[in-house]
Chain A
Amino acid sequence: KAGVTQTPRYLIKTRGQQVTLSCSPISGHRSVSWYQQTPGQGLQFLFEYFSETQRNKGNFPGRFSGRQFSNSRSEMNVSTLELGDSALYLCASSLEGQNTGELFFGEGSRLTVL
């Protein structure tokens, strides 16, 4: 059974550009959530999507957005990149409706903003 797949794994952008990251959840999982990990702030919640609807949103500026498609795949977009957006972006999926609520994470997309 394939795990959570994130693409691209690494990317380098310059300030002012925009970036789109992709996440394919475990087959059958309908919830996808995104986290940002930086050395200074640790792991912070960005947003969660369930059945193509944003169910939760963290405290990030509007430059950070996301969406989920009918096949549960999700994308997140960051516009007008800033140096502080350099981070490891992690995607997690879970099989909602079951009682465990366990989250499974992908390997992440490492974004470097120059």
Chain B
Amino acid sequence: KQEVTQIPAALSVPEGENLVLNCSFTDSAIYNLQWFRQDPGKGLTSLLLIQSSQREQTSGRLNASLDKSSGRSTLYIAASQPGDSATYLCAVRPVPEGGSRLTFGEGTQLTVNP
């Protein structure tokens, strides 16, 4: 059974800092890994998706890496801003036969202080 863990559970940083969020998973037989952002009371916004054959993806100030063999992914946020405050979730999707069933981590609650 796939298990996804995110560390730390909460993080508070001053504006402008670069930061790294961690995600680990127990079963390396994944199709892809997706990072999401969730604002309080809202749905999930997709940030980055990394295919199992890829090592990293970038979008603006965000960079996500994937090391499938070790079961780890990181989300790097450069020059953090107060608007980045949210909960960040990673989720893994099994190989295509598993459909679109995602297994989520518990999330990292990020607070960026002005």
| A interface list, Cβ under 8 A from B | 4, 6, 31, 33, 35, 42-43, 45, 48, 50, 55-56, 58, 88, 90, 92, 94, 96, 99-108, 110
Contacts and interface: CB of A to CB of B under 8 A. Distances in A.
A60 to B, nearest CB: 13
Contact-residue size bin, chain B (C-beta under 8 Å from the other chain): 20 to 34
A56 B43 contact: no
A42 B49 contact: no
Interface pairs A-B: 10 shortest CB-CB: A105-B44, A43-B104, A107-B43, A56-B99, A105-B43, A55-B99, A102-B49, A56-B101, A108-B43, A45-B101
Given A45-B103, A99-B51, A105-B45, 7 more contacts: A42-B105, A43-B89, A48-B100, A56-B98, A88-B41, A90-B44, A108-B42
Contacts of A100: 32, 49, 51
A110 B49 CA distance: 27
Interface of B: 31-32, 34, 36, 41-46, 49, 51, 89, 91, 93, 96, 98-107
Contacts, number: 70
Consensus secondary structure, chain A interface: strand
Contacts of A45: 101-103
Contacts of A33: 99-102
A27 to B, nearest CB: 17
14 contacts: A4-B43, A31-B99, A33-B102, A42-B107, A48-B99, A56-B100, A88-B41, A101-B32, A103-B46, A103-B93, A103-B102, A104-B46, A105-B44, A105-B46
B104 A42 contact: yes
A90 B34 CA distance: 16
